[in-house]
Chain A
């Protein structure tokens, strides 16, 4: 495999990791008004993602950074084509981030509910927006032969972008619900389970449609199989949640994203920005890439750095692995006295 292909794969892995990890914290936030009826439930939901969301968000920063580092031609075509939509995503991410920290820096009911609403709004915008951006670059943006957007400021917001946005949001909501079912105890767990049971089949449709469209246009036999794996995983996830097996449901639902993203990136390869005007204007990895020297440097750095990152991130997930409850006396369902005081 040449370095450009390797880095295309690396970028795809980073985006997938982001969608998978930040997906559940986007989802939990989006579910706050849906299943967090009492304030205590909402606190519980926020606590379940509190220690994790910031580390998850770094996946976005790293994914965008890797696009810039490995394929500046992609970065410099994709971002300006969706200038205002990207700015909107940034807003979502900014208000969401500050709301997570500031919410508990002052204590009144009003303050609390305001920032909780900000978290919901910011997460909705960010999930929709990042999905739209990925939908645009893989399904088509109105760019000309110089990689410049044709049409007005919102020309990039096409049906394909909307599909991507809805796909990521819908996926994330069920993802968040399964995560809550896995992470919490009590009414939130029950409500989350019910939500996942009701919506998992429907929520997978836009994502499968997106992957299916890319597949129909440029797919190979391998990606066709991947798409089928994704579709099958939806059924497994649905069946598991129906019998209240949250662990398998979470794994299967994660496979839905892994296989869908693999279909999308695998099928669109070697194109990084699809032009909706003329396939001849597509930006490919060869045109967008940096030199082999830089890719080699990056490969070494990522080869050493990424396993370490994965290691310590996994460790923090392990540290915060306990189920949470809304009861202040026993915050962790299965925490013993020693563990709390350790």
Chain B
């Protein structure tokens, strides 16, 4: 592999990994705000316990998201310096604004929330969590605006002297319709991740308690039950919104990146009306569209793409020709293209990747919604499910929305190849801004260097994933351990002196360990 391929693998691995933490942080943050707010409003200890339990998982996960996010920011400069130079006028400012306007908010107030238990007034403490979660959502908006600018560059003109895009309309960059579509889709997708976690873990605990003959009257029972109910409803509502926003986004993509969408459908020839492919077989891997055959539903694709059953949807073969005519059949014979200089350009993204990731995304979303519906049904009117398959299935299905999120992004990013900045079709050809992935990599960095960092990062990330999972599983198993629900002696109900007491000896530490209120340090 040359440096370009290694750098792409590195970007893919680190980004998909980072995006395991991010949706959980965003989604769980939203649910946590609900729990904590309810506690402050009602003073009901169930809400406090929920806030504490899910808050701990939130923190274990949050920090890994922050840590791996660092790699994301630096990676653009490290491995993709030509890209950074090219897009600097737009892209860099969005990252800087994210740090300044969102990430500061998130980090500072999360620190205040963790250490503020019992130290600052209840409402101020709640406001700190609100600020942190709002920070994470605003942060997501800036990052998605940056990504959407790569998918659909707006608000720029090319500077003839440098050959690079120059920002002329910041508001257009911020209100890019691609960004609005992707942001709304991503946030509700993140909510599905957190909701599935609540459902899976809550059901597992309910069943375990019932098998152990524990009372369904105590606070613990209510905590798990409430978690399942909230998670179930949140998941279903989010699923409906995911479908609505996804439909809007897909229609937009048919205009902005038709090749991505036609590849996702393995639609080779332009057809009117176009059929929807349910299952493809043949040689998807060959990346020759004509080798692929599908079972199809007539005219459905026209409806999905354009809202009626007649309009033509362009096929991969025609689009490939159109793009070759517009942007060249071969890469320019220029050293900045590395090994790709002079080679023919394949404008069709990898068919197998786009086709199957698209279906995996939708399929896993449906699985998750189905599990949520099951959980709500199985816990109706105070029931507790005992079905082993149902409960362990729900626990397993916690992974489904994670997969859906990851495959959605893999589809989005792989689907825009061979461009790293995709030409905006709304702009006349001669004014378009675009950049090939082959040009983007750092020219001075050797493949050996990128291999080194790729291997090292993957190993460290793998080890950290093991620890994170182990911590979460351990913590979840232990559950809400103080069973009577009354505040532990010595603790005020509204505060936790524990949070700022460093246990002086091993015995105090262990005592704290058994107390669900013990938190941080």
Contact = CB atoms under 8 A, between A and B. Distances in A.
Contacts of B486: none
Interface of B: 56, 59-60, 62-64, 66-68, 70-71, 73-74, 76-79, 81-82, 84-85, 87-101, 103-105, 107-112, 114-116, 118-121, 159, 166-168, 170, 442-446, 448-450, 452-453, 456-457, 460, 464, 467-468, 471, 474-475, 492, 495, 497, 500-506, 508-510, 512-513, 520-521
Given A61-B70, A73-B85, A97-B66, A291 B167 contact: yes
Contacts of A40: 502, 504-505
Given A40-B502, A80-B442, A80-B444, 19 more contacts: A47-B500, A54-B66, A62-B103, A65-B98, A66-B100, A68-B88, A78-B77, A79-B77, A90-B70, A102-B63, A153-B448, A290-B88, A290-B92, A290-B167, A328-B503, A331-B502, A341-B497, A342-B121, A342-B495
A94 B456 CA distance: 13
A187 interface: no
A276 to B, nearest CB: 15
Nearest to A292: B166
Top 9 nearest A-B pairs by Cβ distance? Answer: A72-B88, A79-B77, A69-B96, A68-B92, A65-B96, A76-B81, A148-B444, A69-B92, A101-B63
A47 B97 contact: no
Interface stretch (A160-168, A238-246, A253-261, A295-303): A295-303
B504 A55 contact: no
Contacts of A316: 108, 111-112
B471 A83 contact: no
Nearest to A64: B73
Contacts of A106: 471, 474
A88 to B, nearest CB: 9
Given A109-B506, A327-B504, A84 B453 contact: yes
Interface string A298-318: 100110011001001100100
Task: Identify which of B74, B167, B495, B512 gathers the most chain A CB atoms within 10 Å of its CB.
Answer: B74
A80 B81 contact: yes
A47 B501 CA distance: 9
A299 to B, nearest CB: 11
Nearest to B131: A312
5 contacts: A58-B108, A72-B84, A76-B77, A107-B513, A306-B100
A339 B66 CA distance: 32
Contacts of A12: none
Contacts of A72: 84-85, 87-89, 92
B500 A331 contact: yes
B122 to A, nearest CB: 9
A230 interface: no
B128 to A, nearest CB: 9
B93 A69 contact: yes
Nearest to A339: B119
A93 B105 CA distance: 20
A51 B112 contact: yes
A47 B495 CA distance: 18
Nearest to B474: A106
Nearest to B57: A105
A155 to B, nearest CB: 10
B509 A52 contact: no
A146 to B, nearest CB: 8
B258 to A, nearest CB: 31
Contact of B107 (A55, A77, A78): A55
Interface of A: 40, 43-44, 46-47, 50-52, 54-55, 57-58, 61-62, 64-66, 68-70, 72-73, 75-81, 83-84, 86-87, 90-91, 93-95, 97-98, 100-102, 104-107, 109, 146, 148-149, 153, 290-291, 293-294, 297-298, 301-302, 305-306, 309, 312-313, 316, 319-320, 326-328, 331-332, 339-342
A326 B504 contact: yes
B504 A290 contact: no
B521 A332 contact: no
B71 to A, nearest CB: 5
Mostly, the A contact residues are helix
B93 A340 contact: no
A331 to B, nearest CB: 5
Task: Identify which of B159, B448, B521 gathers the most chain A CB atoms within 10 Å of its CB.
Answer: B521
A50 B117 CA distance: 14
A295 to B, nearest CB: 9
Contacts of A46: 521
A65 B100 CA distance: 9
Contacts of B445: 80, 83, 149
A26 to B, nearest CB: 15
A79 B107 contact: no
B63 A97 contact: yes
Contact of B70 (A93, A309, A312, A340): A93
Contacts of A73: 85, 88
Nearest to A96: B67
Task: Identify which of B62, B103, B457, B460 gathers the most chain A CB atoms within 10 Å of its CB.
Answer: B103
B460 to A, nearest CB: 6
Contacts of A149: 444-445
B100 A54 contact: no
A185 B21 CA distance: 38
B398 to A, nearest CB: 19
Contact of A70 (B82, B92, B467): B92
A100 B82 CA distance: 35
Nearest to B494: A341
A91 B460 contact: yes
A312 B520 CA distance: 22
A148 B445 CA distance: 9
A98 B81 contact: no
Given A148-B444, A290-B88, A107 B107 contact: no
Contacts of B471: 102, 105-106
Contacts of A76: 77, 81-82, 84-85, 88, 442
Given A64-B74, A290-B93, A58 B104 contact: yes
Contacts of B444: 80-81, 148-149
A298 B297 CA distance: 50
A85 to B, nearest CB: 10
A38 B77 CA distance: 42
B77 to A, nearest CB: 3
Nearest to B107: A54
B442 A55 contact: no
A45 to B, nearest CB: 10
A47 B81 contact: no
Given A76-B88, A313-B108, A102 B103 contact: no
Contacts of A43: 502-503, 521
A46 B521 CA distance: 9
Contacts of B510: 107
B519 to A, nearest CB: 9
Contact of B100 (A83, A87, A301, A320): A301
Nearest to B63: A101
A327 B100 CA distance: 38
A181 B335 CA distance: 58
A104 B110 CA distance: 16
Contacts of B107: 54-55, 57-58
B92 A87 contact: no
Contact of B99 (A51, A58, A94, A291): A58
Nearest to A87: B453
B467 A102 contact: yes
Given A43-B521, A78-B77, A91 B64 contact: no
Contacts of B110: 54
A51 B501 contact: no
Nearest to B509: A107
B90 A294 contact: yes
